[in-house]
Structure 1
Amino acid sequence: MVLPDKTIFIQGLNFIVMIFLLNIVLIKPVREIIKKRKGLMADQLEKIEGFNASAEKKVADYEAQLTQARKEAGEIRNTAKDEAVVVEHEILAEAGKEASSTIQAARAEIQSEVKTAMEQLTKDVYVYAEQATGKILGQA
């Protein structure tokens, strides 16, 4: 059995002094380091969250700009297509007019040639008829 004597008080005092000294030398500095690390971690976490928010905002802006660019490109393409259709109709109309005038000119030329040929044949018919008549009647 343990008998309490005056050394127990000295051991108790020694224990309290040692706790006090350990608190000053070891525990408080470790707590300060842990506190600083927590603060550093919180700062880093804030920076990361800010960076993520900034990145998300930039991605959203990029997607909005991309959508706008696609819309503008579609409008430009449609405008160019409409202009090309108008030019195509103008070219086709001009080609139709040129073809029509060429056909009219060709018809007029053909009619003129037919008329000239008919007149020449009409003149030649009388000559051939006289020659044939002469041969039939025996005249040279």
Structure 2
Amino acid sequence: MVIPDKTIFIQAANFIVTVFVLNVLLIKPIREIIKKRKGLMADQMEKIEGFNKNATEKMADYEAQLASARAEANEVRSSAKEEATAEEQKLMAEAGKEASGTIQAARAEIEKEVQAAMGQLTKDIDKFAEAATGKILGQA
């Protein structure tokens, strides 16, 4: 059995001093390091979350700009297609008018030539009739 004497008070004082010294030399600095690390980790997490949020916003902005550019390209393509179709219609109409004019001019020329040939044949019909009659009757 342990008999309490005056050394128990010395050991208690020694224990309290040891705890105090350990607290000052080890426990407080370790707690400060842990607090700093927690603060650093919290800052790092905030930065990471901010970066992720910024990246998400930039990605959404990029996709919106891409969609806008695609829509604009489709509009440009469709307007160019419409302009080309209108130009084609215009050229076809002009070509049709030109072809119609050429055909009418050719028909008029052919009609003139037919009339000229008919006129010449009409003039020469009397000569041909006399020559044919002469041959039929035996007059040469």
1:81-107 deviation digits (Å, cap 9, x = unpaired): 222232222212211211111111111
**What's the TM-score once normalised by structure 2's chain length?**
0.88
Deviations 1:8-60 (A, max 9, x none): 22222211111111111111111111111111111111111111121112112
For 2:55 and 2:75, locate their aligned partners in 1 and report how far apart those are by CA, in whole Å.
30
Aligned residue runs from structure 1 range 111-130, under 5 A: 111-130=111-130
Aligned partner of 2:71 in structure 1 is 71
Q: How does 1:17-36 map to 2 (within 5 A)?
A: 17-36=17-36
2:44 is the alignment partner of 1:51: no
Measure, in 1, the Cα distance between the counterparts of 2:81 and 2:59: 32
User: What percentage of aligned pairs have identical amino acids?
Assistant: 71
Structure 2: which 5+ runs fail to align?
none
User: Residue 133 of structure 1 corresponds to which residue in structure 2?
Assistant: 133
Aligned-partner Cα distance in 1 for 2:79–2:63:
24
Between the aligned partners of 1:39 and 1:26, the Cα distance in structure 2 is 20
AA aligned opposite 1:123: K
CA distance in 2, matches of 1:41, 1:109: 99
Counterparts of 1:74-89 in structure 2, within 5 Å, are: 74-89=74-89
Structure 1 residue runs of 4 or more that deviate by more than 4 Å after TM superposition: none
Distance 2:120 2:139 in 1: 25
SS in structure 2 of the partner of residue 2 of structure 1: coil
Letter in 2 for 1:133: T
Q: Secondary structure at the match of 1:99?
A: helix
Alpha-carbon shift at residue 121 of structure 1 (Å): 2.6
Per the normalisation by structure 1, the TM-score is: 0.88
Indicate whether 1:5 and 2:31 are aligned.
no
Whole-angstrom CA distance in 1 between matches of 2:92 and 2:135: 61
When structure 1 is superposed on structure 2, of 127-136 and 45-54 the one drifting more is: 127-136
Q: Give 1:117 shift.
A: 1.9
What RMSD, in angstroms, separates the aligned Cα atoms of the two structures? 1.7
